[in-house]
Structure 1
Amino acid sequence: MRLLPGSGKSVAFAVAASVFSLGALAQSWPSGTVTAVVPWPPGGPSDIAARPLAKGLTEALGQTFVIDNRAGGGGNIGTAAVARSKPDGQTLLITSSAPIVINPSLYKKMTFDPLKDLAPVTNLLRVPLVLVAHPSVPAKTLKELIALIQSKQGGFSYASSGNGTPQHLTGELFDKVMKLNMAHVPYKGSAPAITDLLGGHIPIMFDSTIAIMPHIKTGKVKAIAVSGAQRSPLLPDVPTFAEAGVPVESYAWYGLFAPAGTPKEVVAKINAEAQKVMKLPEYQKIRAETGSDYVGDTPENFTKFVHAETAKWSKVVKDSGATVD
């Protein structure tokens, strides 16, 4: 291809102008009120990450960050709204993992593709799940519990906070790995599941340290094992599944996302500002109270993590035959 005289300078100018405009957009972010959509009801675990982050960003950047709890569809409704938003950094998503890495395999029809329609910014919290039992269950260790479940020959059940949640699929992973043939009893949220567990109506359940810790502390349930790679600092005496020779590793994690197409320079700035907030004492307190490691990361590494989680949980969903529609 032959360039006309002076056209090389024009192309160079256009490229330079484009780079400048992207840099200017990043420098000007945020240009007004930022809406952080949480696709779950107020007061849920995602809010634990979202509200201190929004508060910290508001104070640091001088623009208001508003939490918009837009629940429904297992997290799909609010997530889809962000996926369709203008990619300028003014609308963000703070969510648990379900609508990102589980729902695409669980729902037959999705109005968005998380891997294509969202830009991962950073992980915010990552907490292990805890396998807990009602005190009446005659098992103190994971080995004893497995033997008990196997002796019931399909007559043993476990509860979760709902179909397709990390709690449900961690139970499915445990069930399939150990060939336990347990029955799954889904609830509409963690609270009603815990209520039935405390009442002895269901023998065991998986839940995040965020939700179940108060009941472990009071002795109303007993912790059998944690699903993290290491023991939780909140439960130093409770072994991991791996320590018992059971290859189960699972976390309830919460992440920050922007609409796909948001300029990389803007995503990088959002990431940098979010990580500054995550290192402040108030956020560090939240991290300690939930038993989360520091998980702030680059957008690139968080993207790799999201892809790996998608592959992992799609296999669990397929193997379990779980579906919600």
Structure 2
Amino acid sequence: MEQERGSPHVVRRQLLLGMVAGTAGLATARAASGQRGTASNWPDRPVVYINIFPPGAATDTLSRVYCTKMSELAGQQFVVENRSGAGGTVGQAAIAQAPPDGYTVGLGSIASLAIAPSILPDLSYDPARDFTFISGLWKVPNLLIVNKDLPVRTLPELVELLKKNPGKYTYGSSGFGTSPHLTMEMFKQRAGLNILHVPYRGGAPAKLDLLAGRVQLMFDNMPTVIASAREGQVKALAVTSAERNSAAPDIPTMAEFFPGFEITSWGSLVGPAGIPAPLVERMSSLTKQALQDPGLRRFFEENGATTWWTTSQELADFRTAQQRLFAEVIRATGAKVQ
């Protein structure tokens, strides 16, 4: 036995077996390390953040401020890519189709995740199945603005003008199925108005046509249009939050004239389905830090937005509840793709 152990043949065989075992052990260790590092080392390269609306929209401004802070915290760039169209559903589909490795995430919105399922018949994704819900980001009211040359100064005056001229005036929106579109449809239903919808690929081009007088009124996310209202380029008549907004406390709420009228837009951080739970927790934790930053919070508030952090499960549950809510609103207003 001692002689067999010491033979060159046996020694060589034992060395080979040892090398195989060592290699297997090293591979296992590396795999385990890689699995642990998926969360702890993320990100080790730039992260693509898909904004589902075009440059210049409220979501673009808020997204870029958030991504700048996340870049500082994570030590890697969060690169914003705008993929707009069809009320945000084009970009939302792109997020759903990305690899679930945490390096492609993006905006989940009220329009594309809560409203679109009830208003767009050919939606290419299932909001409940095709996404990983990471965290809430912000909530913003919509602001009702009109062309500065329109002969009204208050919401009651606007309603009177529109009722006297059925079918004469048009409203712009950031697209079918967005919260500004649905907000105006609710306004039409509550006030008994006849005005034509002109959809755009985002709020920014809609606002440009409103400034030029090609459309006369619109709702849009408050951060996009509050500066134009302050500068007198447009007239701001009402906000859609339940209470007046601290960024513009002199502007009344819709509910002051139409009790119970409230629609608040929201944005969230989502990724494709299948992102591992530890990585979701890592992204959520960094997002919480970003949203607690005083400079970011101040910027959001000055532009009419409120920071909104949630857990992954809280966001998923909230989205489900919002879809049910807006399905009822859509049935009540008769809003549909025209």
**What TM-score bracket applies, with the shorter chain setting the length?**
0.7 to 0.9
Distance 1:218 1:33 in 2: 38
Map 1:163-178 to 2 at 5 A: 163-178=176-191
Alignment deviations for residues 57-81 of structure 1 (CA, whole Å, 9 cap, x no partner): 2222223332233334443333222
Distance 1:286 1:304 in 2: 28
Q: Which residue of 2 aligns with 1:158?
A: 171
Distance 2:293 2:50 in 1: 22
Note the C-alpha offset of 1:22.
6.8
Q: Which residue of 1 aligns with 2:192?
A: 179
Q: Which residue of 1 aligns with 2:6?
A: none
Q: Which residue of 1 aligns with 2:62?
A: 49
Map 1:274-285 to 2 at 5 A: 274-285=287-298
Whether contact under 8 Å (1:258, 1:267) holds in the other structure is: no
Give the one of 135, 139, 142 matched to 2:152: 139
Whether contact under 8 Å (2:134, 2:283) holds in the other structure is: yes
Q: Which residue of 2 aligns with 1:320?
A: 334
The percent of aligned pairs where both chains have the same amino acid is 34
Whether contact under 8 Å (2:57, 2:204) holds in the other structure is: no
Distance 1:37 1:157, change over 3 A: closer
CA-based RMSD? 2.7
**1:120 maps onto 2:120 in alignment:** no
Higher CA-based Rg: 2
33-42 or 233-242: bigger deviation = 33-42
Letter in 1 for 2:42: W
Distance 1:174 1:279, change over 3 A: same
Whether contact under 8 Å (1:172, 1:316) holds in the other structure is: no
Distance 1:190 1:70 in 2: 14
Give the one of 69, 88, 92 matched to 2:101: 88
Distance 2:289 2:80 in 1: 19
Q: Which residue of 2 aligns with 1:257?
A: 270
Distance 1:297 1:217 in 2: 32
Distance 1:260 1:321, change over 3 A: same
137-146 or 264-273: bigger deviation = 137-146
Gaps of 5+ in 1: 1-18
Whether contact under 8 Å (1:82, 1:259) holds in the other structure is: yes
SS in 1 for 2:241: coil
Whether contact under 8 Å (1:49, 1:124) holds in the other structure is: no
Whether contact under 8 Å (1:133, 1:205) holds in the other structure is: yes
Note the C-alpha offset of 1:23.
6.0
Note the C-alpha offset of 1:260.
1.9
SS in 1 for 2:136: strand
Note the C-alpha offset of 1:154.
4.6
Q: TM-score, normalised by structure 1?
A: 0.83
Whether contact under 8 Å (1:48, 1:286) holds in the other structure is: no
Distance 1:247 1:321 in 2: 19
SS in 1 for 2:135: strand
Q: Which residue of 2 aligns with 1:36?
A: 49
Note the C-alpha offset of 1:171.
0.1
Q: Which residue of 1 aligns with 2:322?
A: 309
SS in 1 for 2:102: coil
Distance 1:130 1:85, change over 3 A: same
**1:75 maps onto 2:88 in alignment:** yes
Give the one of 126, 129, 132 matched to 2:142: 129
Distance 1:137 1:287 in 2: 30
Alignment deviations for residues 13-68 of structure 1 (CA, whole Å, 9 cap, x no partner): xxxxxx99976643333343322222333443322232232222222222333223
SS in 1 for 2:307: coil
Distance 1:46 1:112 in 2: 21
Distance 1:311 1:75 in 2: 19
Whether contact under 8 Å (1:228, 1:251) holds in the other structure is: yes
Gaps of 5+ in 2: 1-31
Distance 2:89 2:216 in 1: 31
98-107 or 190-199: bigger deviation = 190-199
**1:299 maps onto 2:327 in alignment:** no
SS in 2 for 1:116: coil
Distance 1:47 1:221 in 2: 21
Letter in 2 for 1:54: C
Aligned positions, number = 307
Whether contact under 8 Å (1:40, 1:72) holds in the other structure is: yes
Give the one of 282, 300, 306 matched to 1:287: 300
Distance 1:89 1:260 in 2: 10
Note the C-alpha offset of 1:128.
1.0
Whether contact under 8 Å (2:112, 2:177) holds in the other structure is: no
Distance 1:137 1:323, change over 3 A: same
Whether contact under 8 Å (2:169, 2:215) holds in the other structure is: no
Letter in 2 for 1:193: A
Give the one of 241, 251, 256 matched to 2:254: 241
Distance 1:201 1:37 in 2: 30
Note the C-alpha offset of 1:118.
0.9
Letter in 1 for 2:97: R
Note the C-alpha offset of 1:277.
1.1
